[in-house]
Amino acid sequence: MRKTLATMTLLTTASVAVAGCSAPGGNEPTEEGETQVNLAFSNPTIFTTGLPYYVATAQGFYEEAGLSVDATFTGGGSETVQAVVSGSADIGTETSGAAAIGAYTSGAPIDIIAASTTGLDLQWFAEPDSGLENRADLAGKRMGYSSTGSSSHIGILALSELLEAEGLAPAQPESIGGPPDNLTAVQTDQIDAGWTQPPFFLDRVANGELVLVADGAEIGDYADVAMRVIIGNETWLEENPETATTFLEVHDRTWDWIFDNPEEAATIWKEAADLELSEEVLLTSFDYYDREELRIAPLDGRDVLLDDAVEFGFAEQPLTDEEVNDLFNLSYLPES
């Protein structure tokens, strides 16, 4: 009996040890001699998240650069950071700067290595009969976001701060998921307003099925802030600096190609993400984004990100200058 109990204790301890010892190392080359990169990002159907991955894969940009990229899809925000921290992914794109800063202050071995999206490209929609027409109407209302620490979460927290400054009640954030989940939640009255990114549901807005209530541009001064960033696992980056730089170079070059070839990009996007939206609707994305917002450098608005991380409770205390320099490691950016 004692022997069994001792064995059970040891086995359980060993399993906890294995679970707690996650450390990615250098990735082995594939059979074709390409270097493996494990990528994590959220909401793969969205313009800023899935499109560059789908286009780089379809156009063979990764292959040309000697990379074999495998993607893992997350719920956004801190979930992308978790994937990178745990070593399931080497690099995470389109994750919120505040979530990354919060994770770093808790001891997460990550670096922010580039900007991903500059500005807050979100919109909040509601049912036409909801009575919601503008930002002020969202006071005290239930608003959906993707995941804790995501840019959609930060957007609601910033909006609430704005509403409170105007003497109104703050919004009630509800973790719902991506835009399709938010649409279902709005239509079934689980929440009052859901988030989306262009061009999703804008056709429904055009035909009166939904109304747009607020736009990211109205919420805080985020136009010049890298709201979403690219992060990497610190250990992996140290062991694979050239691969990280190559990945960033391909990522940036892919955006160049997308903006130079919008029709082809829309076709790839529709097929790869299995979207029901027409290519015409998908092409309207280019009315909402310009190339500059999606550049990997410069990474602007660090002070705002650092302040938000503390103000919104993702980091318990402000980072020291040394910590900021350690976290924002832009040495992997391609020279060009």
Partner 1 sequence: MWIVRIAVIVVFLVLVEIAVRTELINPFFVPRPSEAVARMGTRLTDGEFLGLVAVTLGETFAGFALAAVVGMVVGFLLWRSRSLGDAFEPLVAALFSSPIVLLYPIFLVILGRNSTAIVALAAVFAVLPTILFTKQALSAVSRTMLNVGRSLNLSAWSNFRHILLPAAAPTIFTGLRIALTYVLIVVVAMEYILQIGGLGRFVSESSLLFRATDLYASVGLIVIISAAFIWAINRLEKLVQR
Site residues for partner 1 per CB under 8 A: 1, 5-6, 8-10, 12-13, 16-17, 19-23, 77-79, 81-82, 85, 102-103, 106-109, 142, 147-149, 174-175, 184-185, 188-191, 313-314
Min separation Cβ 110 and partner 1, Å: 10
Q: Which is nearer to partner 1, 65 or 132 (CB)?
A: 132
DSSP sequence for 82-114:
HHHHHTS-SEEEEEEHHHHHHHHHTT--EEEEE
Q: Which is nearer to partner 1, 66 or 180 (CB)?
A: 180
Q: Are 89 and 41 in contact (CB under 8 A)?
A: no
Side-chain half-sphere exposure of 100, counting CA atoms within 13 A: 35
DSSP sequence for 291-319:
GGGG-S-----HHHHHHHHHHTTSSSSPP
Structure tokens at 282: 């998908």
Min separation Cβ 159 and partner 1, Å: 18
Three-state SS sequence of 208-220:
CCCEEEEEHHHCC
Min separation Cβ 85 and partner 1, Å: 7
- In three-state secondary structure terms, 166 is coil
Q: Which is nearer to partner 1, 65 or 315 (CB)?
A: 315
Q: What's the burial of 149, exposed, middle or buried (CB within 10 Å: 0-12/13-18/19+)?
A: buried
Q: Which is nearer to partner 1, 23 or 206 (CB)?
A: 23
Q: Which is nearer to partner 1, 103 or 113 (CB)?
A: 103
Min separation Cβ 136 and partner 1, Å: 24
Give the whole-angstrom CA distance, residue 208 versus residue 125: 11
Give the other-Cβ count within 10 Å of 176's Cβ: 24
> How far is CA 336 from each of CA 112, 148, 165, 301, rounded to the nearest angstrom?
19, 35, 43, 21
In the numeric block, the tokens 């064995």 are attached to 7
Min separation Cβ 12 and partner 1, Å: 6
Q: Which is nearer to partner 1, 6 or 206 (CB)?
A: 6
Min separation Cβ 290 and partner 1, Å: 32
Min separation Cβ 233 and partner 1, Å: 12
Q: Which is nearer to partner 1, 29 or 140 (CB)?
A: 140
